[in-house]
Structure 1
Amino acid sequence: MKHPLKLAGLLLASTSLCATIAFAQEVMDLGTITLDPILIQGLENGAVIDGYRADAISSATRTATPLQQTPQSVQVLSPELLEDQAITTMSEALGNVSGAQGTIPLQTPAFESTLLRGFPAEFYQDGMTSYINTGDANAMAGVERIEVLKGPNAILYGGGIGTPLGGLVNIVTKKPEPENFTELGLTYGTNNYIEPSFDINRQLSDTVLFRMNGSYVWSEADQDVIETDRYSFSPSLTFGYGTDTRLTIEGYLSRWEQKEYQGLPAVGTVTGDFSIDRDLYIGDPDIPESHTETRKLTFTLEHDFNGQWSNRTQFRYGENEVEQITQIILSNAPDAGPTDWGLYNSYVPGEQTEYSFNTSFEGRFSTGNWDHVLLFGADYSRIEDYSLMYMDYAGSNDLANPGAWPAWTMPSTLAMGEGNGTYTTSGAFVQMQSSVGRLHLLGGLRLAHLETIYDSEGYGRRDTLEETKLLPRIGAVYDLTDQWSAFASYSEGMKANAFYFYSSTPKPEFSRQAEIGLKYDGSAVSGSIAAFRIERENVPVTDPNDPMMLTSVTEGQQRSQGVELDAVWQPGGAWKVMVNYAYTDAELTADIPMGAPAGSKLPGVPRHSGGLWVDYDARADNDEGWRAGAGLHAVSSSKLDQANTYETDGYATVNASASYTQGGMTYALAVKNLFDTEYDLPMYGYMGGRVVPGAERQILFNISKRF
């Protein structure tokens, strides 16, 4: 029997081949191809959105394509939804997306832990890589909307170190608009949460627009000692608005400071015959704060040659700075006594410089009864990274009954080697979308090239990786009725994995995804249901011969498969309802040498997860009046570690919010975890997995004025 992924690929390939043959036959019959003029359907800031519902976006195909004709699972979190739910973190926002597990908000933003479909996701900003997502990764002031593309988006997104694997979270930022307004806001709440924010937009002339927004957040946490200090600032300037040639220049400055939080061990929290205080901060309470910072400058040049052809070119330069300071434990179980753990002073500085470039040409034309959208282009991304890790033994402490903590001192032992890494991704791509009647086809190829060089003085070794591969993406959508459509797609991806210290020569990681599903777009209800299967090989896994669990080998094989549902009910009156559900089965498909066996479930991935949000909006057409909403988010249990020794229980939380607007002034109240439910979250990827107590009830009050 053929492999199911190969069968899906062959099926889609045969569909595309039939369309190609039909196209060729028309060419021979006509002799000369007549290109009918078709106007480019421009999207306002890349999307068509009404309330919670998105009808079209450009990020999935880099062309203006209705979601109903896109052979891929795509979810869009609209500006109205983000505002109604009083979203303050990316993790909270991604609770609206099936199969998404967001990064713990208290995690130091020096690495990304978001999962989609059970596998790591990558963050992009306006279609370009946002490498390791440093700075204030939860800043919402400059966010217009959030677009989530599921699976290996191999053809159009290859920045950073290769193909996004579980999927892509694209943050679409607020752009200058042709009007004058100022909006000021202030949020205050539980744990002394305070957040002033602003958004200033000016039309400087008929063709020049300016916008600047930002926010500052200071807050305490339920956990002892922790205080978070973060801010973001985003100015932008557009030249040539309303003309055939437009240039937008965007700046971004963001910083985060906090004592690094490592969570709690499994023993003493989700298992064991003793208990650890849920609010315990492990380590010296006087430890210096960790920080991350990012600075970026982005240029976007758009040009319309005529009614059929256009070009979009982007360039971004960015700098990241990371300093992680921790008094860390290395085990989920006591390793220095019955309830005692060994403590290690750790210091991890890092600096990254990134250069990203992409350009694409889009053409729209017709041949006979077929309508076509052709996209071709190239991209290049280079990351220069300097990082190291110092670690010294500091002593031990009883976490069940903590005594005095050892004082943190700067460690001098080079634990993971001083290294300089250069990660280069480049590629050329071509994509064709063709429609005739009820049939919509998509096919594309990417010639992808990866190159990594890592020099480790501490280990006295130089690791290199270089690979070139042709990556396909094919898909088809068939309109069953005016409301229902069926879709199928197949794609492949390739990536390298940075920020691992390898004990053997690394290999590139390869991935494959097949997806089938149904989409519905009626007068009141819209949504999709999809079944998927993703396979990975050459996944970094912990070297079983390393007693410190600090180095990796590229020997892992994994698979994730499941079913996802996302839907919006928006009948046109006051009610709006958004619902999502995911069944995800993610596991190892090969033994890890001297480690977890095949069949072990991947940590941090619940088998069942879902959410519901119901909103009643009684505001008038001028947005004045009141609205109120409430929602539920629930997940089943998930494994905490790769060996499946520990797991967290399932849980459900309820959120609610309400707002009233009058004379441009808005008063809003939000309650997170309304019933103060006690639950635990898995801290994916932190030293083999950790437990993080879920946030207690939080009350937020916001007042804002637009004028």
Structure 2
Amino acid sequence: MRQTPYRPLRGSRAAIVAAGLWFAASGAAARDEDGGRGSEIRLDEISVDGTATPRGVMPAYAGGQVAQGGRLGLLGNTETRKSPFSVSSYTEKFIRDRQARTASEALALDPSVRATQTTGSPFDSFYIRGFPVNEGTSGEFAFDGVYGVAPSFRVFTDYAERIEVLKGPSAALSGVAPNGGVGGVINIVPKRAGEDLTRFTLDYGSAARGGGQFDVARRSGPNREWGARVVGSLRGGDTPVDRQSETTGVGALALDYQGERFRAWLYLLAQTDRFTAPLRPFLLRAGVPVPRAPDGRLTITQPWEYANVDDRGSLLRLEYDLTDQVTLFGNAGGSQTGVERYFSSAPTITNLRGDTTTTPQFYSLGVDRTTVDGGVRAGFDTGFVRHALVMQASRYSEDTARRFPPGNGTYLSNIYNPVLAPIIAPTVIASRPRLSDSTLTGLSIADTMSVFDERILLTLGVRRQGIEAHNYVSNVGTLASSYDRSATSPLVGIVVRLWETVSFFGNYIEGLSRGDVAPATATNSGEILAPYVAHQVEAGVKVDWGTLGTTFSAFQITRPIGELSPQARFAETGEQRVGGLEFSVYGEITPQVRVLGGLTLLDGVLTRTAVAANVGNTPIGVPRVQLNLGAEWDLPWVPGLTLNGAVIYTGRQFIDTANTQALPDWARLDLGLRYTTLIEGRRTTVRATVLNVTGTNYWTGVASFGTFFQGAPRTYLLSMSVDL
């Protein structure tokens, strides 16, 4: 596929912002005929979010922080109690109350998830169940269940109605992740029109970063079948990190039609992210002990280093009911990412004193993605067995072009005493030679069979996945290697509900990743390995206590690894296995007290490696313990005032397969207040949050290639939102 040059969405972004202002001007006074929402809100109920759940979005559970279910890829939205898989779905209310700007910040209380980067970095990457997700230029965020639409590096929460995490491999459910992640799938459920809404928000974050957002939704038509929602935001200023500033802009538009048999949704998205002195992960020289973590406010990145990222995406979804039991569906969309940056990919710490060496490099990247799928869902009975059958065909394509010239110099610094270095001029070249292209095709079928009024549900499915890829010589663009492989991925899931509120569940599912290409240093350079197949077995129990939900599960995931042997041959000689126990809790203990969090215990081991001495070691970035616990308390003395807090703990993590270098465990405390009241009949909410209250200095998560970030400093967040 021909690489299309990236062009910023100046016109489209302006149109989205203009549409939002028009909606606000023309509809701010629109209310129900009985006098408007404001007159209906009683003082003792103002802490409850009054907006209705849009069609196609799972409703919130008690407490409003999580949803009652989530998307299972091919299987669509599924209630938690009827799902054979582990899914967490965080609501817009929770995201706003936590003042989370990105998906990474919104997932801070998920015990299965760890961000490997920190605030102040121009990308989000994660470990889920001990395996990396969204590392590099992957675009592994799903958008309304579809790859290829969401931004590549960071997802801002302005346009998110839900942020869902489907845990474990999911090739049969969601297809091959673009970059081969097997730990799980992060799905962004976009905002769409539900109840009419006009909300304006102003926010501030230390040191001097502020901005605002508008969020407007309307429904119209005789049966309110037409809907529109527009979201826009602009933020900028200095961050808590020395010498760092960031400017972001977001525009999102969602249009929908909900007819008797035909339904359609159109999503348009644009965002821009501009960093000065972005934080970068560190490499540690072999044999050097891990130094103590520096103050989170310090950075060795220079004020002349920068990162500029622009994303735009669109998705059209269609559904048509042939009968009451048969529905045709289809999706078509795509996205573009444009990157220009100048910094070092990973500065190297050279000794225990914290001295560093950094070689900044100019980097220009363009990514084009397209996605299309279609299929049929059908419900029918065979005797006393109820079937929910779905068949789907899909195609995803990605073209990448990149310019990555060598650096022109190196500067020295220290993580405890950063220095200002003279400017090292970059080698800026406008053209982007082709780097890679890939096409992922799939044909899937799954059937969920239920009996005894859905007390027993059995899901069987299979996906035939094709993977075709071409790799080109970096900075040249001539073909270096090609790849055309296919594989079949099954899934089995079962749910047994002996009681209405207790669900026992289990599953077997596989993950699929593109096989690596042997590097230039290998004796078999250019050889392409077969697709990597990961395997998961999981079993657990979910209990709904009425207003409090709990889940306990045990799982084991194994995944092969391509390695360079001591004889310099590249082959699939490694294997990583991670077993774990997960416990999560969510909901209301009392109407005034809400909890969210859990505990994950991981047992990671390298079962096969090219270096025999490493067999039995712990994989890179897999801690033994991950603990997250958040709570909210509506203070009885002041109606509308809520105290919230969270504790996040991560155990020790190794940064090398030989297990000679390890980051120490760390814990962080966050505290906040929220006050909701009526001002001249308008719902107004003020939020104040302090992240890392104690100012703990720590090293955060480890990426799969052994790089690691410094933790974020104490950060103050303040916002005020008004519903007109």
Normalising by structure 1, we get a TM-score of 0.84
* Mapped pair 1:506 → 2:528: yes
Secondary structure of 1:200's counterpart equals strand
Q: How much does 1:558 deviate?
A: 1.4
Q: Which residue of 2 aligns with 1:423?
A: 438
* Mapped pair 1:581 → 2:603: no
Match of 1:600 among 617, 642, 645: 617
What amino acid is aligned across from residue 435 of structure 2 in structure 1? Answer: N
Query: Aligned partners of 2:389 and 2:293: how far apart in 1?
Result: 61
Query: Aligned partners of 1:184 and 1:403: how far apart in 2?
Result: 41
Q: Which residue of 1 aligns with 2:23?
A: none
Query: Aligned partners of 2:81 and 2:418: how far apart in 1?
Result: 57
Q: Which runs of 5+ in 2 are unaligned?
A: 1-52, 134-139
Q: Relative to structure 1, is the Cα distance of residues 292 and 374 closer, same or farther in structure 2, using a 3 angstrom cutoff?
A: same
Q: Which residue of 2 aligns with 1:170?
A: 187
Q: Deviations over 1:641-698 (max 9, x none)?
A: 344332222122222222222221112211212222222213525x741341x22222
Q: Which residue of 1 aligns with 2:546?
A: 523
Match of 1:118 among 123, 127, 130: 130
Q: How much does 1:404 deviate?
A: 5.6
* Mapped pair 1:449 → 2:466: yes
- Does the 8 Å contact 1:504/1:553 carry over to 2? no
Query: Aligned partners of 1:412 and 1:323: how far apart in 2?
Result: 10
- Does the 8 Å contact 1:353/1:385 carry over to 2? yes
Q: Which residue of 1 aligns with 2:667?
A: 652
Secondary structure of 2:207's counterpart equals helix
* Mapped pair 1:99 → 2:112: yes
Q: Deviations over 1:133-189 (max 9, x none)?
A: 436x24111111111101111112115537641000111110122x43210001113
Q: How much does 1:63 deviate?
A: 3.5
Q: Which residue of 2 aligns with 1:203?
A: 219
Query: Aligned partners of 2:559 and 2:220: how far apart in 1?
Result: 51
Secondary structure of 2:171's counterpart equals coil
Q: Relative to structure 1, is the Cα distance of residues 343 and 654 closer, same or farther in structure 2, using a 3 angstrom cutoff?
A: closer
Q: How much does 1:489 deviate?
A: 0.7
Q: How much does 1:207 deviate?
A: 2.8
Q: Relative to structure 1, is the Cα distance of residues 543 and 93 closer, same or farther in structure 2, using a 3 angstrom cutoff?
A: farther
Q: Which residue of 1 aligns with 2:588?
A: 570
* Mapped pair 1:84 → 2:136: no
Q: How much does 1:512 deviate?
A: 0.9
Match of 2:206 among 174, 179, 190: 190
Q: How much does 1:387 deviate?
A: 1.9
Query: Aligned partners of 2:460 and 2:284: how far apart in 1?
Result: 47
Q: How many residue pairs align between the two structures?
A: 647
Q: Which residue of 2 aligns with 1:32?
A: none
Q: Deviations over 1:362-389 (max 9, x none)?
A: 1112222211111111111000111242
Q: Deviations over 1:39-86 (max 9, x none)?
A: xxx983331323235333343553443211211111111233223322
Q: Relative to structure 1, is the Cα distance of residues 202 and 428 closer, same or farther in structure 2, using a 3 angstrom cutoff?
A: same
Match of 1:482 among 500, 518, 533: 500
What amino acid is aligned across from residue 70 of structure 1 in structure 2? Answer: S
Secondary structure of 1:641's counterpart equals coil
* Mapped pair 1:671 → 2:687: no
What amino acid is aligned across from residue 518 of structure 1 in structure 2? Answer: V
Query: Aligned partners of 2:518 and 2:201: how far apart in 1?
Result: 41
Q: Which residue of 2 aligns with 1:70?
A: 83
Secondary structure of 1:589's counterpart equals strand
Q: Which residue of 1 aligns with 2:511?
A: 493
Q: Relative to structure 1, is the Cα distance of residues 56 and 281 closer, same or farther in structure 2, using a 3 angstrom cutoff?
A: closer
Query: Aligned partners of 1:483 and 1:270: how far apart in 2?
Result: 53
* Mapped pair 1:161 → 2:178: yes
- Does the 8 Å contact 1:348/1:390 carry over to 2? yes
Q: How much does 1:306 deviate?
A: 2.3
Q: Relative to structure 1, is the Cα distance of residues 407 and 554 closer, same or farther in structure 2, using a 3 angstrom cutoff?
A: farther
- Does the 8 Å contact 1:154/1:164 carry over to 2? no
What amino acid is aligned across from residue 512 of structure 1 in structure 2? Answer: H
What amino acid is aligned across from residue 550 of structure 2 in structure 1? Answer: G
Query: Kindly, what percent of the aligned residue pairs are identical?
Result: 22
CA RMSD, 1 decimal: 3.4
Q: Deviations over 1:548-596 (max 9, x none)?
A: xxx98755421211111111242562221123110112232222459x8
What amino acid is aligned across from residue 90 of structure 2 in structure 1? Answer: L
Q: How much does 1:115 deviate?
A: 1.1
Secondary structure of 2:68's counterpart equals strand
Counterpart mapping for 1:136-285 below 5 A: 137-158=154-175, 161=178, 164-177=181-194, 179-205=195-221, 206-238=224-256, 240-258=257-275, 259-264=277-282, 266=284, 271=289, 279-285=297-303
Secondary structure of 1:128's counterpart equals coil
Q: Relative to structure 1, is the Cα distance of residues 558 and 61 closer, same or farther in structure 2, using a 3 angstrom cutoff?
A: same
Q: How much does 1:626 deviate?
A: 2.9
What amino acid is aligned across from residue 115 of structure 1 in structure 2? Answer: Y
* Mapped pair 1:470 → 2:488: yes
Match of 1:46 among 28, 51, 57: 57
- Structure 1 window deviating more from structure 2 (83-92 vs 42-51): it is 42-51
- Structure 1 window deviating more from structure 2 (152-161 vs 515-524): it is 152-161
Q: Which residue of 1 aligns with 2:701?
A: 682
What amino acid is aligned across from residue 45 of structure 1 in structure 2? Answer: G
What amino acid is aligned across from residue 201 of structure 1 in structure 2? Answer: A
Match of 1:367 among 369, 382, 404: 382
* Mapped pair 1:379 → 2:394: yes
Q: Relative to structure 1, is the Cα distance of residues 384 and 254 closer, same or farther in structure 2, using a 3 angstrom cutoff?
A: same
Q: How much does 1:631 deviate?
A: 1.8
Q: How much does 1:128 deviate?
A: 1.0
Counterpart mapping for 1:321-470 below 5 A: 321-327=338-344, 331-334=348-351, 341-392=356-407, 394-399=409-414, 405-411=421-427, 419-437=434-452, 438-456=455-473, 462-470=480-488
